Structure 1
Amino acid sequence: MTRTPLRSTLVLFAIAAATALPLAGCFPIMAGGAAVTASVASDRRTSGAMVDDEAIEWKVGDKIAQRLGDRVHINVTSYNRIVLLTGEAPREEDKALAEQLARETDNVRDVVNEIQIANPTSLGSRASDSSITAQVKARFVNQSNGAFAANHVKVVTENGVVYLMGLVTRREADAATQIARTTSGVRKVVRVFEYIPEEEARRLDRQGAEPKDTPKGNP
């Protein structure tokens, strides 16, 4: 498998300490074919990348489950063929193997390994993470200034740490980070964005054009 180096375009770790503030607003639930179609149409990834992301998550998750079993708790998230690994593993060898399995998977361009060396979190902790993810998404939707489209930023939470992924401009990344870091329960924010220029973002949003797999821009 051939992977394209992303060091020039991918910001791997930009960690911001979280400040707990009261949460206001609720998250509107969208359902039905029209909502799903609108979401896909406004996604900045290519249609091929979206299909690949779903397949990558399934393949990598299955490999990890087969090789490491339930002694680890590892979540696999793929966005634009970049894999984010989060969760816990008891040994460094388990963490390294999970990354290796991800890198060997077809169509994976790069891997961001954020697995912590620890025992798996409790069900209560995971429920809290799900709640935090929902709260961050709700605040994205309810932002008053419309600094970015909520569906352009993917949110993953693990043990109170929020990871943000997406094809975004730096302005959008900063706005999303500020919302996430001021959401109740968030300990810190890790940015795993690919940056695109403002002009490219406007073109994609206006025309529904498909972005390149490796957008131009400096990390």
Structure 2
Amino acid sequence: MIDRSPLVKGLLWISVAAATSLLLQACVPLVVGGVVKGVSMVRDRRSTGQQVIDQGIELKAAGKFSSEFASTASISTNSYQGKVLLTGEALSEKSKQKAAEIVTSLDGVKSVINEITVGPTSSFGDVSQDAWISSSVFTVMSTANGVPSRTIVTVVRKSNVYLMGLVTEAEATLATTVASRVNGVKSVNKVFDIISAQQAAKLDEQAGSTASGNNGANNAAAPIKDTDTSASSTTTSSGTDVQVMPIK
């Protein structure tokens, strides 16, 4: 059961505030439940306003999931440009669909990609492995030429990697290739918003951000699943393994 005491809630909010403060100050890999966000307010290609909206969506979804599912589901919510990725586990198909419905109703949500699996929640070993993979993916992307790691959100669930961000076709290819070569990665799922090189240059200039690094990885590559979407569209399209729920 989840402890809902005021003390625990207070500690959770303090943790969130501290983590957010770190992200605002620098590009620091934040690992929470197997999720790394290598982005910051001063480096991200999203506008500051959009970042605030995305963070609000994530916090609201987490609160609603806690009330709705208690200990019967373990779901992570990641929002980028209003496109929400749901990962984790639920004990029934009904709970999986309910989670998507909850997020769909939130202000600012443009589409929902439901990657929740039906089954038991992740074990401690799964979570530890995901955290290690998340940190490793962030590290190799940070040192790879042409990968704008500061604006890419990396999500890992049971060794499956999901990449979100505003990137060019070339950047998407480089990022997924590098991530797929990290030891332990089962698959890499692209959930990018594709923009032109001109758009990327303009956004980088506005954010004061440039791609950096010099080395990739040399391990055997994991499968890459293409779920790229256009940044100019308010709905998303999916690959064969990703369920997308456009907002009507």
Range into which the TM-score falls when normalised by the shorter chain? 0.7 to 0.9
Q: What is the alpha-carbon distance in structure 2 between the residues aligned to residue 76 and residue 33 of structure 1?
A: 20
Q: What is the alpha-carbon distance in structure 1 between the residues aligned to residue 156 and residue 83 of structure 2?
A: 17
Q: What is the alpha-carbon distance in structure 1 between the residues aligned to residue 25 and residue 62 of structure 2?
A: 30
Identity %: 33
C-alpha change, 1:162 and 1:32, in structure 2 (3 Å) is closer
Instruction: Note if 1:154 corresponds to 2:153.
Output: yes
| Corresponding residue for residue 101 of structure 2 | 100
| Corresponding residue for residue 113 of structure 1 | 114
| Corresponding residue for residue 15 of structure 1 | none
Q: Which amino acid aligns with 1:60?
A: A
What's the CA shift string for 1:140-188, capped at 9, x where partnerless? 1112xx2122112110000010000001111101000001111001000
Q: What is the alpha-carbon distance in structure 2 between the residues aligned to residue 46 and residue 34 of structure 1?
A: 16
Unpaired segments ≥5 residues, structure 2 = 1-21, 28-38, 209-229, 238-248
Give the match's secondary structure for 1:138. helix
Give the match's secondary structure for 2:129. helix
Q: What is the alpha-carbon distance in structure 2 between the residues aligned to residue 73 and residue 207 of structure 1?
A: 37
| Corresponding residue for residue 204 of structure 1 | 203
| Corresponding residue for residue 180 of structure 1 | 179
Q: Give the conservation status (yes or no) of the 8 Å contact 2:57–2:106.
A: yes
Indicate the structure whose relative CO is greater, using CA pairs within 8 Å and at least 6 residues apart: 1
Give the match's secondary structure for 1:163. strand
The alpha-carbon deviation at position 91 of structure 1 amounts to 0.8
Q: What is the alpha-carbon distance in structure 2 between the residues aligned to residue 113 and residue 103 of structure 1?
A: 11
Q: What is the alpha-carbon distance in structure 1 between the residues aligned to residue 194 and residue 177 of structure 2?
A: 17
The alpha-carbon deviation at position 32 of structure 1 amounts to 9.3
Give the match's secondary structure for 1:132. helix
C-alpha change, 1:64 and 1:132, in structure 2 (3 Å) is same
| Corresponding residue for residue 217 of structure 2 | none
Give the match's secondary structure for 1:57. helix
Q: How large is the Cα RMSD of the aligned pairs?
A: 2.3
Question: Runs of 4+ in structure 1 displaced over 3 angstroms?
Answer: 31-34, 214-219
Q: What is the alpha-carbon distance in structure 2 between the residues aligned to residue 64 and residue 156 of structure 1?
A: 18
Q: Which amino acid aligns with 1:49?
A: Q
| Corresponding residue for residue 61 of structure 1 | 62
The alpha-carbon deviation at position 205 of structure 1 amounts to 1.0
Q: What is the alpha-carbon distance in structure 2 between the residues aligned to residue 32 and residue 157 of structure 1?
A: 19
| Corresponding residue for residue 169 of structure 1 | 168
The alpha-carbon deviation at position 206 of structure 1 amounts to 2.0
In the comparison of the two structures, how many residue pairs are matched?
183
The alpha-carbon deviation at position 119 of structure 1 amounts to 0.8
Residue pairs, 1:21-60, within 5 angstroms: 35=26, 39-60=40-61
The alpha-carbon deviation at position 34 of structure 1 amounts to 5.4
Q: Which amino acid aligns with 2:231?
A: P
TM-score normalized by the length of structure 1: 0.77
Q: What is the alpha-carbon distance in structure 1 between the residues aligned to residue 160 and residue 24 of structure 2?
A: 32
Q: Give the conservation status (yes or no) of the 8 Å contact 2:24–2:41.
A: no
Unpaired segments ≥5 residues, structure 1 = 1-30
The range that moved more, 38-47 or 199-208, is: 38-47
Q: What is the alpha-carbon distance in structure 2 between the residues aligned to residue 122 and residue 102 of structure 1?
A: 25
